[in-house]
Amino acid sequence: MTTWIDIGTLDDIPQRGARTVQIAGQKDLAVFRTGDDHVFALVNECPHKKGPLSQGIVHGHSVACPLHNWNIALRTGQAQGADEGCTPVIEVRQEGGRILIAQPDAMQAAA
């Protein structure tokens, strides 16, 4: 069963921007808000050389890595175009104005 973690409201994330979320024992996450108010969560590491995706530019449902400009699809974590690689995606949902992210599996096992 999925355990959900409340990380705040939509307004806590700038539109076409991101905020980072730290969960004990996990890699930092980047939670993105698109221009049409969709929310996505990825591990905050580019699949190329671990650039901080939370500092990238959100366009459509992708983010451009701030280091070498790879485009990463927010829904899948996949690099776009000729670039290859994938960043892990974390499940997110919005409920009553709150944003919830799925607790990573490793934590559930330890709980």
From CA 30, how far away is CA 90, in angstroms rounded?
A: 10
Least distance CB 96 / ligand FES (angstroms): 35
Tokens of 64: 């451009």
Least distance CB 77 / ligand FES (angstroms): 12
Least distance CB 65 / ligand FES (angstroms): 3
* DSSP notation for 29-98: EEEEE-TT--EEEEESS-TTT---GGGSEEETTEEE-TTT--EEETTT-BBPTT---B--EE-EEEETTE
Is 7 or 89 the residue whose CB approaches ligand FES more closely?
89
From CA 6, how far away is CA 98, in angstroms rounded?
A: 7
Is 59 or 68 the residue whose CB approaches ligand FES more closely?
68
Least distance CB 4 / ligand FES (angstroms): 29
Is 7 or 87 the residue whose CB approaches ligand FES more closely?
87
Q: Look at the block and give the residue holding tokens 């806590």.
A: 12
Question: Which residues bind to ligand FES, rule: CB under 6 A?
Answer: 46, 48-49, 51, 65, 67-68, 70
Is 34 or 54 the residue whose CB approaches ligand FES more closely?
54
